[in-house]
Amino acid sequence: MFVGEGAFAFPSNPKCMNDSMFRLDGKVAFVTGAASGIGAAVARMLAARGAHVLVGDRDTEAGEQVAGEIRAAAGAATFAAIDVSDPASVEAAFAVSDGVGKLGILVCCAGIGFVGGILGTTPADFERVMSVNAKGVFLCCQQAVTRLKATGGGAIVNIASIASKVSLSERFAYSASKGAVLMMTRSIAQDHVADGIRCNCVCPARVHTGLVDAYLAKNYAGQEAEKLAELSAAQPMGRMGTPEEIAGLVLYLCSDEAGFVTGVAYDIDGGVMGMR
């Protein structure tokens, strides 16, 4: 049995989870890519456990909508416009967070996909993917580490991918960008453990978001259901993950219950890595 609403649902059985666990009361959490997909699920999840969430995204309309939904559900949220690939935009967005309170959590969810091997990837393609997926994490983590180091520490969680650990067909630029996220995560964890900063990353396999639906509609018009079934069946559990499942793991890593965890890349993949 669960209580709550939508992505705010938590087990009601006290043997399963005490309500005092995974609380983020009084903490400010900045979530990038929070207007949709995994980022939106993370923003809702963190707000449900007491954090004031900065909903960061370049899509103002969708970002404001997510922030409004959180407030309507009695949570605390502020929208912050951000283009993670632009240093000036990142700096301005973190200035917005400073106006809310002391930053305690950063979750980097902003990212884009790209299908193509090395011969099907132009320099412009490569630069675009790396600019958002890798440079964006660098810029946001740099802003967060500066603040967390000055105020006694906190938690950073980056969304990487199983593509950061194993080769996937036709994912040359994407895999390169997510490999960079994995190693930036470990580097930050090592360099700033003494500052009380924990830095981990989450490595999902396929997750069913609007990006998947848009990809299928663009490349397999009229065959969406068939191709979705094929993609789902490719994972040992026979389905894709959900944004809320990823958000649950992120919540743990942001919480004090994960206080002894840093520098780790967690697979959440329906068995893909464990059954290779």
Q: Where are the alpha helices (DSSP H) in 193-242?
A: 210-219, 224-233
Cα 106 to Cα 51: distance, rounded to the nearest angstrom: 12
Distance of CA 108 to the CA centre of its chain: 5
Quick check: 36 and 64 in contact, CB under 8 A? Answer: no
Starting at the edge strand that comes first in sequence, how are the strands of the sheet with 154-159 ordered? 76-81, 52-57, 28-32, 103-108, 154-159, 197-204, 265-268
Catalytic residue among 174, 215, 252, 266: 174
Does the annotation mark 252 as catalytic?
Answer: no
Burial class from Cβ neighbours inside 10 Å (0-12, 13-18, 19+) for residue 93 reads buried
Q: Is 55 left (phi over 0), alpha (psi -120 to 50) or beta?
A: beta
Residues noted as catalytic:
174
